[in-house]
A = this chain, B = another copy of it.
Amino acid sequence: MDNEQYPSSLLEQAVTELSHLPGVGRKTALRLALHILRRDESEGVALGEAIINLRRGIRYCKTCHNISETDICPICSSPHRDRSTVCVVENVNDVMIMERTRQFGGLYHVLGGVISPMDGIGPESLNIDSLVERVATGEVKEVILALGATMEGDTTNFYIYRKLSDFPEVRITQLARGVAVGNDLEYTDEITLGRSLLQRTLFSESFSV
């Protein structure tokens, strides 16, 4: 694209940075930049600072890897949560989605992604070792695999199942397949998601047919 057309390098730079966001091309980025210019200066500065503070200030729970403002997140440190059940999810968003179902009183473990060789994401770049360490303490009685019903989710489920096979006393379950196949959790309604949590099945049964 011919960049000379931008009347200011500040505008061009903002467009370039905004167009790195997912689903934002240069045309949309320009529209966003011009919107920011039309609004109050304080609003634009607040947006910029919120992004910088987010990226610089955010911390992660040392136990479950969820976003947290403290070393251990409120869920992991809550005395009201069932410490014997750990729900494995792909990302931080999925924790929020699971919490919204109000069907789960245990703890979480955020993997930080799913195994996806196409995207260069192998098991070593996910928080799987720390999950094994949590299970090895003996405190965990059940691990619920709550990844999306995608090929990558299934692959990751199976990888974790194998990793945890050293602990036969730990129940490994997965969400009931009420989740539409091919969909991420994000696009599943809360009732379906809540039900599939209640109807979770033994992982070993899903491939023993």
Chain A interface residues (CB < 8 Å from chain B): 2, 5-11, 13-14, 16-18, 20-23, 28, 30-37, 39, 41, 43-59, 66-69, 73-74, 91-93, 95-96, 99-100
Distance between Cα atoms of A16 and B52 in the complex (Å): 14
Contact A41 B53 (CB under 8 A): no
Known: A10-B53, A11-B54, A36-B51. 9 other contacts (CB 8 A): A7-B67, A7-B73, A10-B50, A10-B58, A13-B50, A14-B50, A17-B46, A34-B91, A36-B55
Contact A11 B58 (CB under 8 A): yes
Residue among A8, A33, A37, A92 with max Cβ neighbours from chain B (10 Å): A8
Q: Which residue of B lies closest to A69 (CB)?
A: B8
Distance between Cα atoms of A68 and B10 in the complex (Å): 10
Contact A7 B54 (CB under 8 A): no
Subset of 15 A-B contacts with CB under 8 Å: A7-B66, A7-B67, A8-B68, A13-B53, A14-B50, A18-B50, A20-B39, A20-B47, A21-B35, A23-B28, A41-B55, A44-B51, A44-B56, A48-B50, A48-B51
